[in-house]
Amino acid sequence: MPRNERLRQQRILRNWRQQDLADQLQTSLVTVQRWERGTHQPSAYYRAKLCELFRLSVQELGLVEEILSPPHSESTGVAVAGGVLCKEVVLWNIPYRRNPHFTGRDNLLSQLEQRFAPRDVSQAENIRRVALSQAQAIKGLGGIGKTQIAVEYAYRAREQKRYAHTCWITAASEETILTSFAALADQFSASLAKGETDQRKLAAEVINWLEQCALPWLLIFDNAEELSLLLPYLPRWGKGHILFTTRANAVGAFASALEVDTMSLMEGAQLLLRRAQRLELASDEEVNEAGNIVVALAQFPLALDQAGAYIEESGCSLHDYLQLYQLHRSAFLARRGTQATQYPESVVATWSLSFQRIEQQSPASAEMLHLLAFLSPDHIPEELLSMGAPYWPPALQLAVSDRVSFNQMLEALLRFSLVKRLSEDRQLSIHRLVQVVQREALQGKLQQQWAERVVRAVNHVFPGDPRENSAAWSLCQRYLEQAQACTLLIQQYHLQFSEAAELLDRVGIYLRERALYHLAKPLFYTALRLWKQQRKPNHAHISSSLADLGDLYREQGKYRAAELLYRRAHAIYERFVGQEGGQLAYLLQGLAILSYQRGKYTEAELLYRRVLHIWEQQVGSEHAKVCYPLNGLASLYFEQGKYGKAEPLYQRVLYIWEQQLGPEHLHVAMILSNLANLYCRQELYAQAEALHQRAQRIYEQQAGSENPRLINSLHGLAYTYQKQGRYTEAELLYHRALRIGEQHLGSEHPTLFDPLNDLAWLFLHQERYVEAEKFYMRALNVLQKQVNPEQDHPDMASPLHGLARVYAVQGNPGEAERFFQRAARLCEQKFGPVHIVMAEIQHDFAGFQQAQGQIQEAAFLYQQALTIREPVLGLNHPLTIEARENLQNVQIMLGQPKVKQPAPRKEK
């Protein structure tokens, strides 16, 4: 029969084309054609895939010749072992059948195959080489699938004829090691030592036989917990490979290690469905439910096998299993099922012996395990354990007191792979199911005690207000996962002490600074509830929590809700606290920002000045706290066109924050953007661009490339490009800013007003009038959401002005005139009658009137625009010249004498 003919026949029987087979294997048509012509053989990976696809063995598919004979076959030669002539038999004593549910792990198996692959040496060198190749160890937590991987590797190697002999040693203890070697000796047709009963001698004879064996062999030591026990039982040379499976973490003296981790989500779902006998008929909904179970079981192979067995035996749905597991986690993790032949122990039973030995050897390690069960599992800072010592039991306090005792305590946990240590980051991690089993084993009162200890300790290490401490920002990020775990503990165990509320407040502030509003909001509300529930309510903290919520709503653009919270906080503060302290300053600062954002500039200025006075009295004029009102005043002056007053304030803020918070703090990025906007308005584009780019880099490095804090920087840089005529670059940045804002803040957040309005302006100048109208209307809608229906926000002047120009071009003079007039009224309300922005509106309105034949009105408006532009921009500025020339043209049309052109002069 031609090579691989059986594979071709099986394909034809299923009515598959060669392309159909290639698609299912995710390979190419040419590869399948080569297989069926017999010019190439499928690799180990594709042989496994073909067997799974056709549900046939490699022999049935004809992909290899007959495999090695099973144990006790006839002899294959004669070898000398220990001076005794004996027939060389084929050894195969793998105690497990091949697991029909084995799933995934292709990468690990491929690595094993590569590490055990023969070296590229000459035949002569290969003959002379007698030293064993580097032994390999598969290490990991009990139940992670180490034994199953070793079994699968042995069966695949058998199919590939990689070894003549495959020997399995159960290495849990020296007794099991000796028993396994004795059983191997019994498989020889002629005993190595006839009548010998001493198991140590039998083991020595088998080892000696392997060292002398001329054929390749594989020796597997399974469940080798105490590696030192193996030393007398390891062949010193020979044509073989040695493989360990072990929970031990430190194996470097014996072997090169491959660590087994949890399964991927897809692998886990396939294993669960295959074990439950539902893979073939699973609907999309069941696949999704399987994924939910995989997540709930933390992608742990043994737990997934248990779950699949339960689903098969009980006949329940995947959805029902998940609900039952969430209610009875401990019982389900302890239940193994009635058909568990491959690995008969449950998750709980697998770990129970390890837990017992740890408790016997090191009580402090056992307490450490209890502590870790209440923390976030993935990134546990080691210093949290030492700095939190005052809150731990005495034995654990002593163990974390210095690095030597700390390391000794961890050794016991590492020995059983119950924790992992990320040395470079000085962090620990623990599997989620280990946490579940540990926590469920504790009585309710003990669980409560550990939850309280963890919350107090994390509150102790979590930094204060990150707005005022340059070191706090990175520390907040380092401890954030643990702080968030504490928020769950506070809810689950109904913790009500003041440290819990303090922690929630500080974490909420940090999350709000990162613009993670959906995470911060519930923390502020929970903290507020806890402060109110104290036996003696702390009204200062209640006021502060209300103000924190006000800040959050204000940053979300929910101004009415923010104002209500600020007013409540202010009333409580005045009634129960009274004095003008830092907390009042923060509260007034929020009110000032709110007034500024709603266009109430006079009220905002008064509040900013009062906040500045409080901080200067409390901490001095050079403290970082004074920067908040200074920045607010500068921004207020900037919006009013008072650039000479705004710049020195921005510069002062930049200097203080760089000195006290460091040059990479987010507040520094904010002030850089503000200063850059000022320079852009003054047409200092090179300086503006450099500052915007520096601000953007800080935001991206400190908060991420998708954080809403980045919007203002992107918008400012886009506007700078736009003013220089770099429209393509500007448009890309505008769209990026809008995408980030819409994704994280919603399409109606006030932060989006500026990029919407300025992008519309760009479209207007490119004569893309339909797009310009659309974005101007969106900008107007954003502002209208922030004020009462009968009011207009002063910032509406800009989009109204733009829409007036759009309607003028589109031949809608009635709407154009109405919008010009509205824009002029709001501009005067915001800036007064003499302002450069007012000049722009008047000049464009004049052009519209001129086009409508209203020459007298146009002349008046041109004169108004010229009167403003000449002193502000200078006689030689292009806009001044434009207004003067337009005025002269309409005066000629009216029959008036030509205005004398002023002599050009050099501008200061």
Q: Tell me, yes or no, whether 422 and 287 share the same domain.
A: no
Q: Tell me, yes or no, whether 243 and 312 share the same domain.
A: no
Read off the tokens for 383: 């210093």
Report which residue type is found at 478: R
Residue 178 resides in a domain: yes
The CA-atom distances, in angstroms, between 472 and each of 475, 484, 655, 853 are 5, 17, 20, 65
Residue 650 resides in a domain: no
State how far the Cα of 619 lies from the Cα of 647, in Å rounded to an integer: 24
Residue 428 resides in a domain: yes
Residue 667 resides in a domain: no
- What is the reported pLDDT for 469? 65
Choose one of 213, 236, 259: the last residue of a domain.
259
Residue 506 resides in a domain: no
**Residue among 803, 722, 707, 789 nearest 755 (CA):** 722
Report which residue type is found at 751: T
Q: Tell me, yes or no, whether 51 and 98 share the same domain.
A: no
Residue 840 resides in a domain: yes
- Residues with pLDDT less than 50, the chain: 65-87, 121-129, 189-191, 903-908
Q: Tell me, yes or no, whether 85 and 213 share the same domain.
A: yes
Q: Are 670 and 635 in contact (CB under 8 A)?
A: no
State how far the Cα of 226 lies from the Cα of 858, in Å rounded to an integer: 97
Q: pTM of this prediction?
A: 0.66
The CA-atom distances, in angstroms, between 804 and each of 194, 783, 787, 800 are 108, 17, 22, 6
**Residue among 481, 177, 151, 496 nearest 301 (CA):** 151
Q: Tell me, yes or no, whether 334 and 365 share the same domain.
A: no
Place of tokens 């900013």: 608
Angle between helices 29-37 and 18-25 (to 10 degrees): 120
Q: Tell me, yes or no, whether 245 and 305 share the same domain.
A: no
Q: Tell me, yes or no, whether 351 and 340 share the same domain.
A: no
State how far the Cα of 522 lies from the Cα of 502, in Å rounded to an integer: 14
- What is the reported pLDDT for 116? 86
Phi/psi region, residue 314 (left: phi>0; alpha: psi -120 to 50; beta: rest), is: alpha
Instruction: Name the pairing type of β-strands 136-139 and 256-259.
Output: parallel
State how far the Cα of 650 lies from the Cα of 405, in Å rounded to an integer: 52
Choose one of 236, 259, 282: the last residue of a domain.
259
State how far the Cα of 781 lies from the Cα of 736, in Å rounded to an integer: 20
Q: Tell me, yes or no, whether 333 and 409 share the same domain.
A: no
The CA-atom distances, in angstroms, between 586 and each of 435, 498, 542, 573, 629 are 41, 21, 14, 12, 10
Q: Domain holding 9: CATH number?
A: 1.10.260.40
Q: What is the DSSP string of 9-34?
A: HHHHHTT--HHHHHHHHT--HHHHHH
- What is the reported pLDDT for 735? 95
Q: Domain holding 424: CATH number?
A: 1.10.10
State how far the Cα of 701 lies from the Cα of 184, in Å rounded to an integer: 61
Number of domains, the chain? 5
- What is the reported pLDDT for 127? 42
State how far the Cα of 375 lies from the Cα of 364, in Å rounded to an integer: 17
Place of tokens 């993670």: 516
Q: Tell me, yes or no, whether 402 and 335 share the same domain.
A: no
* 258 φ/ψ angles, rounded to the nearest 5 degrees: -120, 120
Residue 543 resides in a domain: no
Q: Are 305 and 276 in contact (CB under 8 A)?
A: no
Q: Domain holding 736: CATH number?
A: 1.25.40.10
**Residue among 253, 40, 102, 72 nearest 165 (CA):** 72
Q: Tell me, yes or no, whether 250 and 300 share the same domain.
A: no
Instruction: List the domain range (segments joined by +) for residue 294.
Output: 265-344
Q: Domain holding 179: CATH number?
A: 3.40.50.300
Choose one of 413, 442, 471: the last residue of a domain.
442
Q: What is the CA radius of gyration of the chain?
A: 38
The CA-atom distances, in angstroms, between 107 and each of 45, 71, 110, 149, 218 are 10, 30, 5, 11, 20
Q: Tell me, yes or no, whether 287 and 352 share the same domain.
A: no
Instruction: Name the pairing type of β-strands 427-430 and 380-381.
Output: antiparallel
Residue 795 resides in a domain: yes
Secondary structure percentages of the chain, helix, strand, coil, to 5: 65, 5, 30
Q: Tell me, yes or no, whether 882 and 797 share the same domain.
A: yes
User: For every residue of 499-556, which 3-state class applies, written as one string?
Assistant: HHHHHHHHHHHHHHHCCCHHHHHHHHHHHHHHHHHCCCCCHHHHHHHHHHHHHHHHHC
State how far the Cα of 236 lies from the Cα of 210, in Å rounded to an integer: 10
